[in-house]
Every structure is written in structure tokens, then in C-alpha cells.
Amino acid sequence: MTRRLLIAAACLALITVPLWIGNNYYVNIASQILIYAVFALGLNVLVGYAGLVSLGHAGLFGVGCYAAAWLLAGGFGHLTAALIALLIILATSAAFAVLSLRTSGIGFVMITLALGQILWGLAYRWIGLTGGDNGINVPSRPAPFGLSLASAAPFYYFTLIVFALAVASMAVFVASPFGASLRGTRDQPRRMTALGYNVWLIRFLAFLFSGFWSGVAGLLFCYFNEFVSPNVLALSSSAEVLLMVISGGSGTLLGPIAGAALVVIMKNVASAYIERWNFVLGAIFVAIVIFMPEGLVPGSVRLWRWLWAGARRFPVRGGVR
């Protein structure tokens, strides 16, 4: 019951963000958090539920970005551009999946990293297609049903709707038999094979699902910035979203969302005070992996309990033995 109340409160808070947050700058940060939350939810399908850590997801995010930007800059309408971009995202995800699912574990990490770097190289060096470092400008944000998304609040609501769809699809997926079989392939791939499941196909479909939402996030990001540059495909971008998933707690529904909020807020706060965001990112990464591998939320609870238990085990009484 309290759980439902909490969810209702969270929904209400999300819906009313532009009303109480005041400044457009903060509304835009909220939109960014939602976009990255969609991205992190997408990656979480692989990292959390399939046990496959991808370091190339910025590639899929970037393909969504670039496909939409290129089509829009080429004069296509918004609906056509979005649909074609979604097809391209699915095709790229399928290609990534076919190549990387030949292995799992560390091999998977390496191959996805290399594939991500290929796409980064394409965006950076194939100047004729992508404009290289200059990137591509997007002429306008879409206007679904004639509603303009040009200002911050309407765009926030647009993002919120997509985010809600993503969360809903994740909730359905996690509860579905398919979600259960995916977790099965994560924990016991050989037993799943012995039970007659096609492990490869399950992972392939999960990869498509994951790539789809990552690409959709990319599409949103392209609308948000109205500009794309090779930076969105960089390895640091893949690492950032992986940090969101891991820091929030992979394999949970809320973890990646919390992680996205944490990283985006930290990034904005950190860059206001210090230039060294990448150093902070790296340091947090190392600290989380070493001290709280299960994620910040469960990790802090465990650390707190441990400290509490430690304090009670060694009560402070005069003198040290």
C-alpha cells in the first residue's frame, strides 16, 4: 500500500515539475534526466537482466541521434524521420547483437567497445556524411498534433510521455515469461540450453529491446539539443550510462532512473564548480565498483548497517585493549 502511495507521489511530482521547479534551466535538467533514464533503462536490460555488459551503447544512442538529425537536415518530415530513424536503430542493434553475441562476459565487453568505437570513428571522420567535428544542426523540434515543443515545459512533457512508455514497457518485460527466461540465461545459460531454450535468440531479442530504447533516448537527445556531434558516441558517453546503471543498482527497475538522476545532477553541479568532470566520473566509477558493487542505494544501506553493527560490537568504553 505504501509502495503504491509512493509511486503515486512520484508520478505527481514528475507531472508537476515545470510548475514548482521555477526556472527553465532546471526544467531542462529534468528533461535531460528523463532522457538519460530512458537510455539507462535500455542498457539495464542487457547489464541487469541479461548479465551482458555493453560498452558500446553510446553507439546505438548516437545512431538514433545521427539518423534523425541527418534526415531532418535533409528535409524529411518529423514523422518520416522518426520512423526511419527507429528502423535504422533496430537494424544497427541487430548488427551489433549478431557480432557481439558470439561471446559473453569479457569478450562481449570488448566487442561492443570496438563496435562503439567504429561508429564513433564514422561520425568523426566521415565528414561527407556526418559533418565530422562540426556535427549536424537540426532545423526544428517536432510538433506532434500541432503542439509546439520549442520551449522547455512542453518538451519536458513530451519526454515524460516517452519516459513513461519506456518504464511501462520495462515493467511488462520484467514481469513477462520472456523477462524470466532472460534472467535464466543470465544465471544459468547452460541449464537454460538443456531445458530447450534458445539462449542466443533470447539474448538477441533482449539486445534489440535494449538497443531500441537506447536509440529512442538518442532521438530525444537530438530533439533536445537540436544538434548532434561525435561526442555523443564517445566511449566516455558509454561509460557514463553504464555508471548510471551500476550506481543506481542494475537489474532493478528504479535503479537506472535513480542513477541517471544522480549522474546528470552531479555532472551539472560538478561542472559548475570544477572543470574536472571526467576525473570525478572515473573516481566515482572506481569507488562504486570497489566499495558498492551492488549499487549506491543498496550499497549505502549495507555500509550503514555494517558501520552500525561495528559501532555496537566495539562500544566505546574507557581504554583500548
Partner 1 sequence: MSQWLLLGVNSITLGGLLFLLSAGFSLIFGLMRIPNLTHGSFFMLGAYLGVTFLGLGFDFWLAALLAAAAMAVVGGGIERLLLRRLQGQELAQVLVTLGLSFMIADLCLMLWGGDPIPLDTPPGLGGAVPIASIVFPTYRLAIVAIAVVIAVLLWLMLERTRLGAMIRAGVDDPAMARVTGIRVSRLFTIVFCLGAAIAGFAGVIGGPILSVYPGLDSDMLPLALIVVILGGTGSLLGALVGSLIIGFLYNYGQVLFPELAYIILFLPMLLILLFRPQGLFGSRVP
Per the rule left: phi > 0, alpha: psi between -120 and 50, beta: everything else, 251 is left
Query: Is the four-CA dihedral 313, 316, 317, 319 of positive or negative sign?
Result: positive
The DSSP annotation for 205-237 comes to HHHHHHHHHHHHHHHHHHHHHSEE-GGGGSHHH
Q: Which is nearer to partner 1, 66 or 224 (CB)?
A: 66
Specify the residue for cell string 534526415: 71
Grid cell listed for 79: 514523422
Q: Which is nearer to partner 1, 13 or 286 (CB)?
A: 286
The verdict on 266 binding partner 1 (CB under 8 A) reads: no
The verdict on 285 binding partner 1 (CB under 8 A) reads: yes
The verdict on 93 binding partner 1 (CB under 8 A) reads: no
Nearest to 42, CA basis, from 59, 29, 30, 66: 59
Rounded CA-CA distance 176/170 in Å is: 10
The verdict on 276 binding partner 1 (CB under 8 A) reads: yes
Element (H, E) at 137: strand 136-137
The verdict on 208 binding partner 1 (CB under 8 A) reads: no
Size of the site for partner 1 (CB under 8 A): 41
- Least distance to partner 1 from the beta carbon of 283, Å? 6
214 close to 43: Cβ distance less than 8 angstroms: yes
Sketch the per residue contact string, 210 through 249, with partner 1: x for CB under 8 A, - otherwise.
------------------------xxx--x--x---x---
The verdict on 271 binding partner 1 (CB under 8 A) reads: no
The correct pick among 148, 150, 293, 311 for binding partner 1 (CB under 8 A) is 293
Rounded CA-CA distance 195/191 in Å is: 6
What is the three-class DSSP state of 14? helix
Q: Which stretch binds partner 1 (CB under 8 A): 98-106, 196-204, 219-227, 298-306?
A: 98-106
Question: Which of positions 107-136 make contact with partner 1 (CB under 8 A)?
Answer: 107, 109-111, 113-114, 117-118, 121-122, 124-128
Applying CB under 8 A, which residues contact partner 1? 53, 55, 99, 102-103, 105-107, 109-111, 113-114, 117-118, 121-122, 124-128, 234-236, 239, 242, 246, 276-279, 281-286, 289-290, 293
